[in-house]
Amino acid sequence: MNNALDVYAESHGFPTECDTTVKQRHGVRFGRSQMPKDTKRYMTVKFPSENKSISVAEGTTLLEACNLADIPIDAVCGGEGKCGRCKMRPRGPYDATPSPQITEAESKEGWVLGCLCRPLGDISVELMPRARIGKHQILTETTAEIPRPLRPWTLKKYVELQPPNVSDNVADLERLIQRLGTKRPCVPLDTLKELSGVLRSGSWKVTATISDLGQSREIIRVEPSDTTTSLLGLAIDIGTTTVVVELLDMLTGKTVATASDYNHQTSRGEDVIARMMYSEEKGVLELKALVTDTINALIFRALKSASTESRRSLDGRDISAVSVAGNSIMTHFFLGLDTRHIRLEPYVPTAYHIPCVSAKEAGLDVEPTASVFTVPSRAGYVGGDVVADVLTSGMHRSSGLMLLIDVGTNGEIVLGGKDWMAACACSAGPAFEGGEVSCGMRAMEGAIDKIRINDDLTTSYHVIGDERPVGICGSGLIDLIAEMYAQGIVDRKARIQALRSDRIQSADAGLGFVVERKSELVKGAANDLVVTDADLQNLLRTKAAIFGACSTLLRKTDERLDDVTGVVIAGGFGSHLDVGRSISIGMLPDVPYEKYRFIGNGSLGGARLTLLSAKRRREVEDIFEKMTYFELSVDATFYEEFSSALFIPHTDLGRFPSAPKDKSGGAKE
Amino acid sequence: MNNALDVYAESHGFPTECDTTVKQRHGVRFGRSQMPKDTKRYMTVKFPSENKSISVAEGTTLLEACNLADIPIDAVCGGEGKCGRCKMRPRGPYDATPSPQITEAESKEGWVLGCLCRPLGDISVELMPRARIGKHQILTETTAEIPRPLRPWTLKKYVELQPPNVSDNVADLERLIQRLGTKRPCVPLDTLKELSGVLRSGSWKVTATISDLGQSREIIRVEPSDTTTSLLGLAIDIGTTTVVVELLDMLTGKTVATASDYNHQTSRGEDVIARMMYSEEKGVLELKALVTDTINALIFRALKSASTESRRSLDGRDISAVSVAGNSIMTHFFLGLDTRHIRLEPYVPTAYHIPCVSAKEAGLDVEPTASVFTVPSRAGYVGGDVVADVLTSGMHRSSGLMLLIDVGTNGEIVLGGKDWMAACACSAGPAFEGGEVSCGMRAMEGAIDKIRINDDLTTSYHVIGDERPVGICGSGLIDLIAEMYAQGIVDRKARIQALRSDRIQSADAGLGFVVERKSELVKGAANDLVVTDADLQNLLRTKAAIFGACSTLLRKTDERLDDVTGVVIAGGFGSHLDVGRSISIGMLPDVPYEKYRFIGNGSLGGARLTLLSAKRRREVEDIFEKMTYFELSVDATFYEEFSSALFIPHTDLGRFPSAPKDKSGGAKE
């Protein structure tokens, strides 16, 4: 037992480090002996590098075995055999379907795609280093300040009651309410069921937790003795890729503990589209369970660390309020709502304002009667995370014109200030988050996050965790394009030039630039680290979508870039961003650097602010009301702006006066 | 399949008439093959008269076998071997503990107590006629009128929405709300989960059911097409003995169907004290399940009969509002609340105002999101049924002084009018409902409900259902005492006189009066129908408690009986009551007959009124606020008044000027 998670794992019956038989994780768990009798054969799959083994039924794929064994795999496509991320090397009997994602050389060495390989008997499996999701760098920082006055929607009140006697035998609830002086509050049935016992075990000295989130005042908990010195709340950012929970002391507004992890849904598809398709086929419950599991494990870790810190034993029931921010798809999954109509035109979510639910309904391991507030979305693809970004940035109170850019798997742009706001989303695609780019990966250990290309076309770079490189994350890719353009390796259309250099490779798919040799990469790497023409076109489209969306909003609102007084960059990817490089490739608009501001994880910031402040909760409504949404998917202006931006930095160089020229000093077409 | 209940039984896996193997009824049901493997032997118990047989584990008592087979047994003590009501004659191997409740003659004939007898192999069981609860007479009538204006807390609204398109892709919920024109309503998560599907399957033409019970406005259901011509609600009276449900058309206020049955909890104890003790030992869940089962079976029957009547297929989900009235113990059981502290001094319920719960939480087979309103109690033993009685009677709006008497297993008295009210309860005991009286039974088929004693001490009587007599119900017992007193069979203290007549029997327990010979009774009767001295003392205490409570309230409030402008009799027993006879034995106060008024099932009436009218719901609050509760259990005045009433009709004959004198024309002591 090394850490809290192991304790959690053990207490929840999940595998710990040296577990030998791992049981099915979601839904009903059962060991072999309790399994319903069927005629299927079972076989053991060992993962020596993970110190895990699992027994699976005939027909289970290796990727499914990883899911069951709780080994996070970077399977972008959700197990469709398309992304080539789940490369594994099985030793033992198996049946694998060949895939174009496996090169001939890899095939010879015994590599297969985990999602297309089924063991035929007991087997041992080696994971390709890039397949396994490693230690991560998740953005848990936000610039959101502690709001004043602090006004969470729960409060505690300690009361000492007169015990009843025959001449004063008022009912327990009415006795309590009378003493609290609260006018006819609601009481959830679960709380009422405990009431008589708690009043008596607490010798009629009790603390009541009162929740008042607009619609009705509720006594959500009554506990013995005076606990008014502790009032905990939880802010949750549910990202498509990562989930962050923050445990807050609602009496001081201070963060007590933070915990973060990849969203366990990732194994069912990297991006929201893949996951929505998965849920349409398999039902939404599995995705709901995966994100709830992710959050509950984080709650456990946060409580554990806060308990150690404060030397008090904290319990989930001590958390009496929860605020959640996430994009529409994530909040829909979180509550088990159908996402089918968000995915398909005309992209309609079930609701913008997710009604307040109890933690019990949401399945969270906190006080079951606690209210869960969800920051509303403004559109199917402008979610509560973006509304939360705006709230964190304060742009809705700004008298100057502001531009907010949140680049994640999708890009969302908001333009405006205190009088009006315009918002849109663009399918930026996961290129900067490691998706759809052969050499791409998330910002985690082993990722190149900074890179320079030397004149001899060799490279100098920084790797997160100071390890040997595995791939390149978003900020590294931006650097790479800027450097390749500056060195003349690509032209203005980001096409690789057939230079005479051993760093330029030719393959069926077109030319490629060798970022690093196989020998210098992480042990076990099968190939050189190469960025291809196809990769670059994906990256170019992504940056063009972001810039095109910014330009479109300015045009639609008749505003000029020069009048923008501030640009806010939000989101995990944003925090690693080099503004100069991003402008130089034409992704971010060319305004003076000092106008740029980073707000970190604005989604978490917004969840925190709405948790702590009634004023901020009202402001969320205000943001929702004044924000106009522009649907770009069918917009001619956007198409035009997008096309013009498919150049480095842009067709119209006048829009990027500060951008460096390429080696020839001018435009190459 | 003869009737709706059989259809229900079959569809729910319950035994129908000729079922051969009956499965366990509550909690998880499983047939033999699915039963967890244990080493217990199983044996078959046949009940030929019921056309039922059941397989039970070794050690099960015959009474438990009846419960499992759904054969209602009048086991007053809840299976403690005390009441002697579950007499059965087994044929086959068994092991029975002897009991003083079984006479020597009965024992010779093979009768045993079902609760003390365990089969040792396959066995066939004959039930003593009085053991089986027969066809019942349950009071479903009430004088409550249809309130005007009708203002139930749900309403339906039909809307036709514009389908979304790319330039108008507002979320489903917000699109609906906008069209409904309802300001920011709540939406239960279960409703939201269905929303997207329903809007599309209904081609954007839907009916929304909106619920507004004070605290918050909720859209509880959205269904395809226009269903606004139907709006159903349910009024429920949960009595200790009987349960009545009434299905109401909330658009017209008319009753659509009524269904009633004995409360299935009866097998776990006849009175509330026995049931509370049972729940303290075995947990409250079993009692909750029993009453919920009772109600759900009745809902099914009511819907079935309404469907036949209206030639439409009605479904539980068509019921969008539920109002419940019952005494505190019944409403606590209904919601699974602990009753321990109601039973013990100082008699404190968990709550007077049971918070509004959803039908899902309550476990009712109606629209799961429907609100369930419970009429508040005023004290542990002055429950919502009494508040409902007051509402039905209208006494809270009366300018004259009114007296309300509800005699059930307990007696509750309310005195007052529009300015103030005083209430109290007295443990009348179950004497008039067939409990604690050897010859007593409930008002059902086979019960003598009217009786005259001829001069030769033979009797003339009327039997409910015109059958041969089984026992005597409450109204019959009142007749009997009045007649015995008038004939000089008992003295003023209700002691049987040792007259020379073969109708007077002598036994260890004292004298007894033979009401009818065994030969004239129902086939299979083991003994003559005899009322004993002990029975009469129980009845005397009951009538004294009721009259004593009335007198105490008058004294405490400094009011005079002469100033009472009306006496309201409520409750099932009340409806069979002969006022003249009741006055003559000193149970009811001696005021002119024309001042007496019967309101029938006032509890059901109150549930109905609160279901249909917002004004009546406010009046319930008004009644609660102005009612003062007097605890009589420790009250010296009550003790004095009770003692003075332990005579026929009373110590002070001046208080019963209209009462007939006994045969000697004066007082016998």
CB-nearest partner of B169 from A174, A340, A348: A348
Left if phi > 0, otherwise alpha if psi is -120 to 50, otherwise beta: which for A465? Answer: left
* pLDDT at residue A388 tops 50: yes
* Residues of chain B contacting A357 with CB distance shorter than 8 Å: 189
pLDDT of residue B391: 97
Comparing B51 with A413, the larger pLDDT belongs to A413
Q: How far is CA B453 from CA B364, B460, B483, B587, in A?
A: 49, 6, 6, 20
CB contact under 8 A, A345 and B166: yes
Residue B186 pLDDT greater than 60, yes or no: yes
In angstroms, rounded to a whole number, what is the distance separating the alpha carbons of residues B588 and B656? 10
- The average pLDDT across A592-614 equals 94
Per-residue model confidence (pLDDT) at position A8: 34
Minimal-distance CA residue of chain B relative to A186: B355
Q: Please give the Cα distance from B134 to B71 (Å, whole number).
A: 10
**Tens digits of residue pLDDT in A375-384:** 999 999 999 9
Least confident of A49-63, B180-194, B282-296: A49-63
The pLDDT value recorded for residue A512 is 94
Res B427 pLDDT > 90: no
Q: Which whole number is the average pLDDT over A261-288?
A: 91
Best B285, B350, B374, B630 member to test A by mutation, with max A CBs in 10 Å, is B350
pLDDT at A424 over 90: yes
Distance from CA of B264 to the nearest CA of A (A): 23
Q: Does residue A223 register a pLDDT over 50?
A: yes
Average the pLDDT over each of A310-324, A535-549, B67-81, B107-121 and give the range with the smallest value.
B67-81
Q: Is B361 at the interface with chain A, CB within 8 A? A: yes
Residues from chain A contacting residue B377 (CB–CB below 8 Å): 171
Mean pLDDT for B652-665 is: 76
Give the range among A67-71, A262-266, B94-98 with minimum mean pLDDT: A67-71
> What is the model's pLDDT at position A595?
94
B 196-225: CB under 8 A from A: 196-197, 200, 215-216
pLDDT category of residue A33 using cuts at 50, 70 and 90: very low
Share of chain B above pLDDT 90, in %: 65
Residues of B in contact with A361 (CB under 8 A): 189
Residue A6 pLDDT exceeds 60: no
Calculate mean pLDDT across residues A220-239. Answer: 97
Q: Would you say residue A254 has pLDDT above 50?
A: yes
Three-state SS string over B220-241 comes to EEEEECCCCCCCEEEEEEECCC
The DSSP 8-state label assigned to residue A438 in this structure reads T
Residues of A in contact with B361 (CB under 8 A): 189
Residue of A nearest to B168 (CA): A346
Query: Is the link from the previous residue into B98 a cis peptide, with omega within 30 of 0?
Result: no
Asked whether the beta carbons of residue B347 and residue A169 sit closer than 8 angstroms, the reply is yes
Among A171, A337, A349, whose Cβ lies nearest the Cβ of B352?
A: A171
| B644, pLDDT greater than 90 | yes
Question: Closest partner residue to A357 among B189, B348, B631, by Cβ?
Answer: B189
Does the pLDDT at position B309 exceed 50? yes
Of B173 and B70, the one with more pLDDT:
B173
pTM of the model: 0.82
Lowest mean pLDDT among A96-105, A400-409, A569-578: A569-578
The answer to whether the Cβ–Cβ distance between A171 and B197 falls below 8 Å is no
Residues on chain A touching B174 (C-beta within 8 angstroms): 351-353
- Percentage of residues of chain A with pLDDT beyond 70: 90
- Token look-up 């007499």 returns B87
- DSSP per residue, B496-543: BP--SSTTEEEETTEEEEEEE-GGGSSTT--S-EEEEHHHHHHHHHHH
**Residue A56's pLDDT band (cuts 50, 70, 90):** confident
From the CA of A82, how many Å to the nearest CA of chain B? 30
What residues of A are in contact with residue B355 (Cβ under 8 Å)? 186-189, 192
Test mutation, A34, A169, A329, A339, chain B, max B CBs within 10 A: A169
pLDDT value at B453 more than 70: yes
| Interface touch B195/A350, C-beta < 8 Å | yes
Span B14-53, pLDDT tens digits: 333 333 333 333 333 333 333 344 567 889 999 988 888 8
Answer whether residue A515 shows pLDDT above 80.
yes
**What confidence category does residue A603 fall into, taking pLDDT thresholds of 50, 70 and 90?**
very high
Residue A507 reports pLDDT greater than 90? no
Of residues A503 and B16, the one with the higher pLDDT is A503
Over 90: is that where the pLDDT of B167 sits?
A: no
Three-class SS string for A541-603? HHHHHHHHHHHHHHHHCCCCHHHEEEEEEECCCHHHCCHHHHHHCCCCCCCCHHHEEEEECHH
| CB atoms A172 and B355 under 8 Å | no
CA distance B167 to chain A (A): 7
Q: Identify the residue among B189, B358, B637 best suited for mutation to test binding to A, counting A beta carbons within 10 A and taking the highest.
A: B189
Burial (Cβ within 10 Å: 0-12, 13-18, ≥19) of residue A502: exposed
**Which residues in chain B have Cβ-Cβ distances shorter than 8 Å to A354?**
192
**With a CB-CB cutoff of 8 Å, which residues 167-196 of chain A face chain B?**
167-174, 184, 186-189, 192-193, 195-196
B-chain residues within 8 Å CB-CB of A174?
351-353
Task: Name all domains of chain A by residue range, CATH numbers in brackets.
Answer: 19-131 (3.10.20.30), 154-224 (3.10.20.880), 394-428+540-652 (3.30.420.40), 431-536 (no CATH)
Do the chains contact at B189 and A361, CB–CB below 8 Å?
A: yes
* Mean pLDDT value across chain A: 87
- Please report the pLDDT score of residue B249 as a whole number: 97
- How many Å lie between the alpha carbon of A321 and the closest alpha carbon of chain B? 18
Of the pLDDT bands very low, low, confident and very high (cuts 50, 70, 90), residue A662 is low
Structure-block tokens of residue B343: 């039973």
Which positions 337-356 of A are in contact with B (Cβ < 8 Å)?
337-338, 340-341, 345-356
Instruction: Report residue A40's pLDDT band, with 50, 70 and 90 as the boundaries.
Output: confident
pLDDT at residue B664 is higher than 70: no
Query: Which residues from A are below 8 Å from B373, CB to CB?
Result: none
Lowest mean pLDDT among A359-363, A659-663, B97-101, B483-487: A659-663
From residue B250, give the alpha-carbon distance in Å to each of A415, A419, B148, B228.
51, 47, 12, 11
The partner residue sitting opposite B338, judged by closest CB among A173, A197, A347, is: A197
Distance CA B206, CA B222 (A): 7
Q: Tell me the residue type at A514.
A: V
Residues of B in contact with A200 (CB under 8 A): 341
Query: Residue A36: which pLDDT band, with cuts at 50, 70 and 90?
Result: very low
* Cβ contact B351–A172 (<8 Å): yes
Yes or no: say if A620 and A376 are a contact pair by the CB < 8 Å rule.
yes
Greater pLDDT, A319 or A426 = A319
Average pLDDT over residues A279-304: 95
pLDDT band at A334 (very low <50, low <70, confident <90, very high): very high
Residue A329 contacts B, CB cutoff 8 Å: no
Are A590 and A550 in contact by the 8 Å Cβ rule? The answer is no
Alpha-carbon gap: B142 to the closest alpha carbon of chain A (Å)? 29
DSSP state, A520? Answer: G
Instruction: Find the range with the poorest average confidence among A353-362, B429-438, B617-626.
Output: B429-438
Mean pLDDT score, B528-547: 94
Q: What is the reported pLDDT for B131?
A: 66
Contact B350 A196 (CB under 8 A): yes
Residue where the block lists tokens 């042990």: A523
Q: What's residue A67's pLDDT?
A: 76
**How many Å is the Cα radius of gyration of chain A?**
27
Q: What is the pLDDT of residue A130?
A: 65
pLDDT of residue A38: 52
User: Residue A19: what pLDDT?
Assistant: 34
Nearest to B341 among A196, A356, A631 (CB): A196
Nearest CB partner across the interface for B348, out of A169, A337, A633: A169
CA–CA gap between residue A655 and residue A638 (Å, rounded): 16
**Higher local confidence (pLDDT), A26 or B75:** B75
The pLDDT-based confidence of A131 (bands split at 50, 70, 90) is low
Please give, rounded to a whole number of angstroms, the shortest distance from the CA of B186 to a CA of chain A. 6
Mean pLDDT of B452-480: 90
> A 375-404 residues with CB below 8 A of B?
377, 379-380
pLDDT score at B221 = 98
**pLDDT tens-digit profile of A548-571?**
999 999 999 999 999 999 999 998
* pLDDT exceeds cutoff 80 at B77: no
At residue B38, the pLDDT reads: 52
User: Rounded to whole angstroms, how far apart are CA atoms A186 and B103?
Assistant: 56
B122: left (phi over 0), alpha (psi -120 to 50) or beta: beta
Q: If you average pLDDT over every residue of chain B, what do you get?
A: 87
Report for A129-133, A256-260, B270-274: range of highest mean pLDDT: A256-260
Query: Which of A215, A335, A379 has its CB closest to that of B186?
Result: A215
> What was the pLDDT predicted at B661?
64
Higher pLDDT, A363 or B138: A363
Higher model confidence: residue B77 or residue A37?
A: B77
Q: What is the pLDDT of residue B39?
A: 65
Kindly state the average pLDDT of the residues A345-368.
95
The residue of chain A with its CA nearest to that of B191 is: A337
Give B198 to chain A, closest Cα distance, Å.
Answer: 11
Q: What is the pLDDT of residues B227-286, one digit of tens each?
A: 999 999 999 999 998 999 999 999 999 999 999 988 999 888 878 999 999 999 999 999
Q: How far apart are CA A61 and CA A471, in angstroms?
A: 26
B109 Cα to chain A: minimum distance (Å): 49
Q: Tell me what pLDDT residue A12 has.
A: 39
CB contact residues (below 8 A), chain B span 623-642, against chain A: 631, 633-634
Residues of A in contact with B324 (CB under 8 A): none
> Is the CB of residue B80 less than 8 Å away from at least one CB of chain A?
no
Q: How far apart are CA B116 and CA B80, in angstroms?
A: 8
pLDDT at B669 over 60: no
